[in-house]
Structure 1
Amino acid sequence: MLRELGMTRIFGNPGSTELPLFRDYPEDFSYELGLQEAVVVGMADGYAQATRNASFVNLHSAAGVGHAMANIFTAFKNRTPMVITAGQQARSLLQFDPFLHSRDATDLPKPYVKWSCEPARAEDVPQALARAYYIAMQEPRGPVFVSIPADDWDKPCDPIVLRHVGFETRPDPRTLALVGEALDAAQRPAFVVGAAVDRGQAWDAVVALAERHQARVFVAPMSGRCSFPEDHPLFAGFLPAMRERIVQLLGGHDVVFAVGAAAFTYHVEGEGPFVPEGTQLYQLIEDPAIAAWAPVGTAAVGNIRMGVEELLLRPQAVQRPAPERKPAPPVPAAPGAGERMSVAFAMHTLACVRDPHSIIVEEAPSSRPVIQTYLPIFHSATFFTMCSGGLGHSMPAAVGVALARPDSKVIAVIGDGSAMYAIQALWSAANMRLPITFVILKNRRYAALQDFSRVFGYREGEKVEGTELPDIDFVALARGHGCDGVHVQDAAQLAQALRDAIAHPRPIVVEVEVA
């Protein structure tokens, strides 16, 4: 069944209750070993996003699921299709509260799975796995969970006949007509694009619709994918997760169309209106729950690509003048003598030396606004990060993306604090011989928390406890996990070091000292 579904890679870190699954393991299947369960789920997340098919994960009972929960949460927020299985003690032992069993197995990963099941009979396990796949792939996609007692694998059962199940739902045409009429009548429309545009293969359709309406295009707060080319004349930049700033940036637009995005994701308390006065908000989203909590506006629910393509079938709208183009950022200055380079300088240098079709996998939250400014993304499915805010996702996700896209160069841009949440991913990259370039931005602190402390009343320069990092040697960590590594402190050496690392045939860590 898994072979028919194209799920011949199993991502896991095995425990005792999973061992029966791997007897007589077929030669056309591979086992992608991660050294910790959060790494396993992160790899599976990147692989599923890059292949656009559900990945198969095998975890160990309650302890393994517990280790994995941070990245299960992220997979849920990323809308990543994933069939997660976990071992369970033998059914005959469960009444005795045995060692390493999961007492409430189906409740443990909730609420961050779409469906959770421990089949009532061993014979029902294959049918449960088939159902799990269908649910994971149904929009809005996401992870599902099946707990499997160890002795179930030895029970015979009838073979599963896979069925055709539609995973996409066409949005209501009457609601789409309201969206289309509003866009046609708008004087100064704006789009806000989210991760679902790229997930749903709607990139080209959204570009065409934006060009038809000469709409400025903003990126939604906390989007985990790039959904519009950032060198396009209509690209207007990134919205922060702050209500007042969103209203300010969208001011002057009479119609705002949030496509594939929540309207809106906030990170701090705010007050006042949700959209500028006199602005109409419309939304196209594949998740009915997001449509339900949107505080204002009209929402169409269904597949993003289908909805945008239907809007493109409307008669050509009245021609509008092109909006003013977003100015290019200034070239960041090189550091002075004895100074560390800025993140802006490092990212501008990386942008200059990388192939624009290479894939960026990012997890550097404190540097994200600078990365967005100086490391632009131009093509669909070439940028991945987490929609959750949970750390420890992107280093292993880069491994999964590289497995799925062997013909593309994968570059992971990771903060030093983030890297330590899933550093074992380096071993998996080395073990699989994946030529990933890991760029570690080393500022020796949890800078995101220090920057964010002002929101909670900290004074300028006031110490924020627990946010200073020791001088971690990432080159030594890389070599200890089987990867090559290089340390860069001199800004004049960065460009060549990055060129060499990108051309390197094995995984390599580039540790970059930044201010």
Structure 2
Amino acid sequence: MTTDAPIDGSALPAGDRVSGAEALLCVLEAWGVDHVFICPGSTEAAFLDASHDHPGIRFVLTTHESVAVAMADGHARATGRPAVAYLHANVGLANGIGHLYAAELARSPVLLLTGIKPRPLQNRRGFTTTPHMRDYVRQHVKSEWQVLSAGAVAEDAVRALKVAMAEPPGPTWLGVAQDLLEAEVAPPPSSVDRFRFAARTRPDARVLDEAAALLAGAARPLIVAGAELARVGAVSDVVALAERLGAPAVGEDRRTFERSAYPSQHRCSAGLYSSKRACLQTADVVLLAGARSTVAFEPTSSGGMPPAAQVVHLHPDPHEIGRVEGVDVPLVGDAGLGVRDLFDLLRDHRAHASATRFVADARREHTLLSPRPVEDPPLDCPPIRVSQLMRELAACVDEGTTVVGDATTSGGALLEAMPMRHADAFHTTSSGSLGWGMGAALGLALGNPSRRVLAVVGDGVLQFGIQALWTAAHYRIPATFVVVNNRSYAAVGAALRRYGGPAFREGRTFGVDISGPDLAAVAAGFGLSSARIHELSQVRGVVDGFLRNREPGLIEILTDPQDLGP
């Protein structure tokens, strides 16, 4: 986290009293907040009015609450600083909860502010009031609080931001009634430095010794590199550890994957973890380095870890360790610090010959399992297969490009194809909250403007998050959206296929067909540059041109509607 200068008081109006809204904005400035993603209503008038005296905070208007939350998530991922989304009343809060779940899983320090109707209306069940506002969010945030007095607005905001940034970070919620924002209060303290502190902790030294001994004795060690490594800037550290152990390193399973945490071009890289990969199941020691516990998609009697392996789990959240299956060595602490400590403890280790063979076997298995058609049709021969498209898109991605994935059934092929060069190479969500990628791409672009952003989304995802196109066009945010348009909810079609009932056998698949809209034309109506592609041969030239243009744009690519994915 960067160190920000204390408030110098220059932003405060004359006199010794300020509005609650003014006090809140001063606190946000002190914490280094430079964007507020907001979908306002009448309740937020005082906050909007006070924003004119704070030019250092850019207010970004969205036309749907879910977009504001996803933008805050993306911005927090890009900067590592707290990000703020401001929603309106109970109805607006309800619209943002799906993507709040995404921020929770990503451990993004998002402060979710909600403007609440004046207190005299609340006990009367006035317009857009709810008696238990905190219940909307409590299962997705680290803390939730509704401000009780005007004088507590600044204090409660400081506390919410402190908790959001404390390790492991995550979203917090603060509800503020309209009358409290409008009331006069004393100016907030001139600095919040005493509330900010480094909170990354090392795992217990004795347990680290146990883990190092276990890894040193392993014949077939395996590292699962998780999103926590990327979040704390420890990708190079886990690469060094993999080299020292001579261990294959894989990304998290698709069901928990959030961001790139291991370079796919590295000699120890072996794709993604899956309990279905036979080679990986022969590992004798598994190090879950900053990775979540396994997440099941369907009921199963078997666990996710190799059956005979001893498991070392390193994670800052003790609730994540042993959440599904027991572990042999639990390392509670910062993923980056823990990996560095293990590296130091293994300073004299030399990789076993069996480990070197295991790396080669794991990489060979990954290559064989990669989705490659036996014989590709010509580039100008529709319909376009998803696996072909992802390889073409991967060829457009360079060191300076961040890919945002929200493509549901195309997501597996996207993960396999995209180069994962560093921690900012790829972002996605394991929340299942469709539409997240639309707003998250914009937040990532604003948070790291030196990088190009390529968002690969499904046609269903676009319809969930289409309001993001207005924000992209209005603020000219340079993100390129590639819409994989199979004209269907392919996940529903795939589920019907797996179910194997008469509906699928007879072609009566209700709930799948969402064909009809010309999505490129819709994007043009919002003011974006757009294109519609029918042939694979067009992909590289069009995508390269849009990325170089550094303007908001959308490319609709029509793919095979029968290609339903896994």
Report the alpha carbon displacement of residue 505 of structure 1 after superposing the two structures with TM: 3.4
2:310 counterpart residue number? 280
Cα deviation digits, residues 320-363 of structure 1 (max 9, x gap): 34321624455872447753111122121122233233100010
Aligned to 1:384: 427
Matches within 5 A, 1:342-353: 342-353=385-396
TM-score (norm 1): 0.95
Match of residue 490, structure 1, among 519, 535, 553? 535
Structure 2 residue matching 1:270: 3-state secondary structure: coil
**Whole-Å Cα distance in 2 between the matches of residues 384 and 87 of structure 1?**
30
Match of 2:46 among 20, 31, 41: 20
Find 1:234's aligned residue among 231, 250, 268.
268
Q: Which residue of 1 aligns with 2:337?
A: 306
- CA deviation digits over 1:442-473, x for unaligned, max 9? 11111122223354454764544201111321
In the alignment, the residues of structure 2 paired with residue 415 and residue 94 of structure 1 have an alpha-carbon distance, to the nearest angstrom, of: 41
Work out which of the residue numbers 511, 521, 525 in structure 2 matches 1:476.
521
- Between the aligned partners of 1:267 and 1:349, the Cα distance in structure 2 is 29
The residue number in structure 2 matching 1:449 is 492
Residue aligning to 2:21 = none
Distance 1:337 1:230, change over 3 A: closer
RMSD: 1.9
Tell me if the contact between 1:424 and 1:481 (Cα under 8 Å) persists in the aligned partners. Answer: no
Give the drift of 1:260.
0.9
Match of 1:217 among 229, 249, 255: 249
> Match of 2:173, SS?
strand
Distance in 1 between residues matched to 2:397 and 2:303, nearest whole Å: 42
Q: Could you say what secondary structure the match of 1:107 adopts? A: helix
Q: Shift in Å at residue 253 of structure 1? A: 1.1
1:374-397: CA deviation from partner (whole Å, max 9, x where unpaired) = 222212212111121211101110
Aligned to 2:237: 205
Which residue number in structure 2 is paired with residue 143 of structure 1?
171
Structure 2 CA distance for partners of 1:509 and 1:336, relative to 1, 3 Å:
closer
Letter in 2 for 1:227: A
Residue aligning to 2:68: 40
The answer to whether 1:71 aligns with 2:113 is: no
- Judged with a 3 Å threshold, the aligned counterparts in structure 2 of structure 1 residues 249 and 446 are, in CA distance, closer, same or farther, namely farther
Is residue 30 of structure 2 the alignment partner of residue 9 of structure 1? no
Q: Is it true that 1:412 corresponds to 2:452 in the alignment?
A: no
For residues 72-471 of structure 1, the aligned pairs below 5 Å read 72-153=100-181, 154-160=183-189, 161-162=191-192, 163=194, 164-221=196-253, 222=255, 223-240=257-274, 245=276, 248-272=278-302, 274-297=304-327, 298-314=329-345, 315-321=347-353, 322=356, 323-324=359-360, 326-327=363-364, 328=367, 329=370, 330=372, 333-335=376-378, 339-458=382-501, 461=505, 463-471=508-516
Q: Aligned partners of 2:144, 2:304: CA distance in 1, in Å?
A: 36
Distance in 1 separating the partners of 2:266 and 2:55: 46
Aligned counterparts of 1:510 and 1:272: Cα–Cα separation in 2? 42
On the 8 A contact 1:250/1:275 being kept in 2, the answer is no
Letter in 2 for 1:155: E
Paired letter, 1:465: F
- Amino acid paired to 2:529: D
3-state secondary structure, aligned to 2:92: helix
Which SS does the other structure have where 2:28 is aligned?
coil
Alpha-carbon spacing, 1:274–1:425, altered in 2? closer, same or farther (3 Å): closer
**AA of the residue aligned to 1:374:** A
Unpaired runs of at least 5, structure 2: 1-26, 561-566
3-state DSSP of counterpart to 2:134 = coil
Q: Tell me the number of residue pairs that the alignment of Structure 1 and Structure 2 aligns.
A: 511
Distance in 1, matches of 2:317 and 2:400, equals 30
**Distance in structure 2 (CA, Å) of the matches to 1:375 and 1:69:** 29
> TM-score, with normalisation over the residues of structure 2?
0.86
Does the CA-based 8 Å contact 2:419-2:425 persist in structure 1?
Answer: no
